Amino acid sequence: MKYLYLDTETDKIILIAKEKIENHPNTEYAVSDTFDLTKDMGDGLFLEGFLTATEFLNRYNADYVSQRVAAYPPMEDYLDAIVKDDSAAIAKYKSDCLAVKTAYPKE
């Protein structure tokens, strides 16, 4: 998982982090490690991390996997429900996951 922090006013990706940064002042987006952040610089040159905020958002909004990653409930909730043997919480977690899949279907 990667966390990107964007400043849309300056059209820049401010930070790409491996861990979530609590209370970061910029807008956060979570993407999978396989999300393509490369930018075609021309002449066969591709660089990772040089996308503008607009380019990232266009790619992000077209990618159902990234939208699902950001919308899924935390896995910790499910594990906690299993440990506590809380069948209602397990059912709610599953229901929430199915709602995300419905909201962001495979293309």
Decide: pTM greater than 0.75: no
Number of domains composing the chain: 2
Residues 104 and 61 in one domain: no
In whole angstroms, give the CA distance from residue 32 to residue 41.
23
Residues 67 and 93 in one domain: no
Residues 55 and 7 in one domain: yes
Q: What is the pLDDT of residues 47-92, one digit of tens each?
A: 887 899 999 988 888 878 878 888 899 999 999 999 999 999 999 9
Q: What is the pLDDT of residue 107?
A: 64
Residues 19 and 55 in one domain: yes
Integer CA distances (angstroms), 37 to 19, 60, 68, 78, in order: 17, 10, 18, 30
Structure tokens at 6: 């964007």
Residue showing tokens 């809380």:
86
In whole angstroms, give the CA distance from residue 52 to residue 12.
5
Residues 99 and 48 in one domain: no
Q: Which domain holds residue 83?
A: 72-107
Q: What is the pLDDT of residue 54?
A: 93
Residues 26 and 67 in one domain: yes
**How close are the terminal C-alpha atoms of the chain, in Å?**
22
Residues 30 and 10 in one domain: yes
